[in-house]
Every structure is written in C-alpha cells, then in structure tokens.
C-alpha cells in the first residue's frame, strides 16, 4: 500500500501524542518529513523515532537510541 504519511522526532516523550514537542514535523509527505537538519546534542541518551502509516492504516515505528559521550 502507498505511504500515507511519515514523521520523525528526537527525544519524543509520548509518541502517541501528536502535539509532543519532540516531533520535528507533523505527519505528511513533504520533503521535510523525509529529512532532519543536523543536530547538536548534549551528553546523554537520545532517541530518534521515525513513524509512518500506509494508506491501509498500518503503522510502523522505528526507534534508534544513541548515547552521546563528550570528553
């Protein structure tokens, strides 16, 4: 099924909340939905979430956790 929307965010506290301030973009298919500008992080654990839904309503979510260590 074709993609209906995609969105991504860093350190999203509540992925089920569409208004969570961690979401970088609203769900959609615009160019900004596919790319994120370069980010600068403080030390600690950070989480990238990419979520998409197809035209049949099937939703998928990928979570990537990274730990930033500054020396």
CB atoms within 10 A of CB 60: 10
Q: Please give the residue that has the higher pLDDT: either 10 or 37.
A: 10
Over the stretch 11-64, which tens digit does the pLDDT of each residue have? 999 999 999 999 999 999 999 999 988 999 999 999 999 999 999 999 999 999
What the block records as the tokens of 68 is 């930033």
What is the distance of C-alpha 10 from the center of its chain? 6
CA–CA separation, 15 vs 66, rounded Å?
Answer: 17
- The yes-or-no verdict on residue 71 having pLDDT over 90 is no
> In which band, very low, low, confident or very high, does the pLDDT at 70 lie, cut at 50, 70 and 90?
confident
């Amino acid at each position: 099924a074709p993609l209906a929307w995609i969105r991504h965010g860093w350190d999203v506290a509540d992925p089920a909340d569409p208004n969570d301030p961690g979401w970088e973009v609203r769900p959609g298919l615009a160019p900004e939905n596919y790319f994120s500008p370069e980010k600068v992080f403080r030390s600690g654990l950070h989480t990238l979430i990419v979520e998409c839904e197809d035209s049949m309503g099937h939703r998928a979510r990928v979570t990537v956790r990274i730990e930033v260590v500054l020396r």
